[in-house]
Structure 1
Amino acid sequence: MGTAFIFPGQGSQAVGMGKALADASAAARQTLQEVDEALGQSLSRLMFEGPEDALTLTSNAQPAIMAASIAALHVLEQDGNIRLADKAALVSGHSLGEYSALAAAGVFTLADTARLLRTRGDAMQAAVAPGEGAMAALLGLDRDAVEKVVADALAAGPGGEVLAAANDNAPGQVVISGHKTAVDRAIDLAKAAGARRAMPLAVSAPFHCALMQPAADVMAEALGRAAMQAPLVPLVANVTAASVTDVESIRRLLVEQVTATVRWRESVEAMAGLGITRMVEFGGKVLGPMVKRIAPDIECLSVAGPADIDAVLKAL
C-alpha cells in the first residue's frame, strides 16, 4: 500500500491552529519556536490567539499554515519513532502547501521555508492593487466548461484583461482568478452555463494568474539564493501534476507555480496512478474531502491535533 503525505494551502488557517499539539508535544513547541525565531516575530502567538484578521493576512497565513503542518509531522515522527522516507512514497501540497511538502521532504530547512513563505506572501499581496483583482469559485462545472466561461468572459471585455483557472481542486470545483471586472462577468456566464454556484471568494489578491508575475519575479530571486537539497521522496508538483526529484526543476516549478494553475485534481489522479492508496494530510482537514471526490478508493487520514496521532500511527 503506497502512502502520500499531503499538505494544505491558504484558507486552512484558523485561530487556535497548532495550539493543542503545542500543549501536548515538545516536538510541536520546538517547531513553532524555530519558525518564530526565523521570522523574528511570535507567529505562534498569532496562531494561538489571533486576531483573525491579522492571521488571515497572506504574509502571516502562509508561514502559519506551513508551521502547523510541519509541527504535526514532527509530532507524528517523534511519537511514533518514524521517518517520512520510510512511510511515504510521495509528498504533495496545495499551493503554499507545496513548500510545506518540500520542507517535510528535506529540500528546505524549516527556517528557510518560513522566510521564503513570508517573502512569497508579501510579494503576492503587493503584486496587485487592492480592488483590481478577484477570485471566484465555480461549482458544478468541469474544467473544460470553466475554460469556455473564461474565454467568453475575456471576449466580452475590453481587451487586455487577465482571467484564468487558478485552482482545479476536484471534479466540479474550479476557482478562477484575474481582473475583478472579468471575474464578475465570468460569474454571470458560469451561472448561465449551469454552474450550481458561482461566488466571489474573500481573498486579498488574485492568486495563480498572470497578475502575479511581479510576485513570481520576487520568488525567482529568493529561490535562486535558497539552499536546496534533493527530496527524500519525490514531489508531485502543482504545475505539472507529475513527480519530480531534480532540485533545479523544483526551483523552476516553484517560480512558475505563482502564476500557474494549481492542478490538484490531476495531481491526486497522478498519485493514484503511481500506486498511492492512502493519503495523510498534515495540519488540516481540507484536502481529504477533495481527494475523496477525485479518487474515492484512496484512504484519507489527517493529523491536525493530538487525538489524530494514534489512529494515523496504527494505519501506518
Structure 2
Amino acid sequence: MSARPTVIVHTDKPAGALGVLAETHPDLEVHACDTYAGLPALIEQTEAEVVYTIRFDGTPRYPRQALVESPTVKWVSIGGSGTDHLGRWDPAHVTVTNSAGVAAGMLAEYALGGMLAFSLDLRGFGRRQQARQWGGGRVEPIEGKTALIVGLGKTGEAVARRAQAMGMRTLGIRARPKPTPCLDEVHGVDALLPLIARADFIVCCVPLLPNTRGLLGEAAFAAMKPSVVLIDISRGGVVEEAALLGALDAGRIKGAALDVFATEPLPAEHPLWGYDNVAVTPHCAAVYDGWDIKSVRMFAHNLARYREGEPLENVVNPERGY
C-alpha cells in the first residue's frame, strides 16, 4: 500500500470514471485502458498498484492473469459484484474487492418484474393484442404467494424486501443461515429441495462457485411445482441448462425469466430463444443509467481508505466468492 498509488481504470467507457477520480483524487496518476488486450502491457508499463476493472467483453478473453499474478498490482477492484471471471487468486498476493450492492435494487426490480410479468400474463396478452383478439387469458395476484430466494447477499435481501412489501411469503437460502430482515424463514443449502417444493417463484442470485455450479439441476427441477416461475439473476452455470430445458419441454414449470447463461452471448441457435414461456434478456438486469458512476464512486471511497491505510470495504474471500 502506498499513499499515492498508480491507478488504472479498465472499462470500455473510461471517461466517466476518470472524471470521478479527477474530482476525488486529483493528485493521483490515473491511466485508462478500454480493451482486454491492452491491459497487460499497460500494467507492466505503469507498474500499476491498483486496477479498477469491469468485465465488459465477456469472460473468455478477460485478462485475469495480468491482474491476479502481476508483481505490482496489490488491489483489484471489480466494478460489479461477481468475481468468477477472475478464477482463483492468492489473497496474500492481491486483494480483490467488489461493488456488491451497486445494482442490488435494479436486480431486485428485475426479479419482481419477472414475477409480475407471469402473474399478469403480460406475454400472453401481448400476443393477443398483436392478433387483435379480445378476451382470453387471466391475471392472478402474487400476494400470498411464496418466493424462495437462493442467495442472500445484498441483491437477495433487496429481492426479499420487495417481495414482502407485495404481501408475499419469503424463504431464503444462505451458506450461513441467520435471521434476516424481510425473510420469514432462512435455511442452509441442505434445505434447498424441501424449500423448492414450497415455492411459487424461485429467484436465483448466488455467485458462481464450484459448490454452486449446477445447484439448480435435475433434482431441483423435479422438486418444483408445475406452477413455479424461475428467475435467474445469478451467473450462467448455476442453473443447469439441460435440466431447465427438460423441465420446459415436459411442462414441469410455468416459465422462466433468464438474464444469465452458460454461454454469452446466447447463441442464435440456442433452444431457449424459442419458448413462449421464457423471457431472455442479455445479462443486462444490473445495467441502468448511472450504475457505472455509482460503482466508480464506491471505488473512489474505498481508494481513500486504501491511501489512509484503513481496511478496505467489500473484500472478497476467494473461497466463498463474496
Q: Give the structure-2-normalised TM-score.
A: 0.29
- The structure whose RCO (Cα within 8 Å, separation 6+) is larger is 1
- Larger helix fraction of residues: 1
Greater Rg by CA: 2
Q: TM-score, normalised by structure 1?
A: 0.29
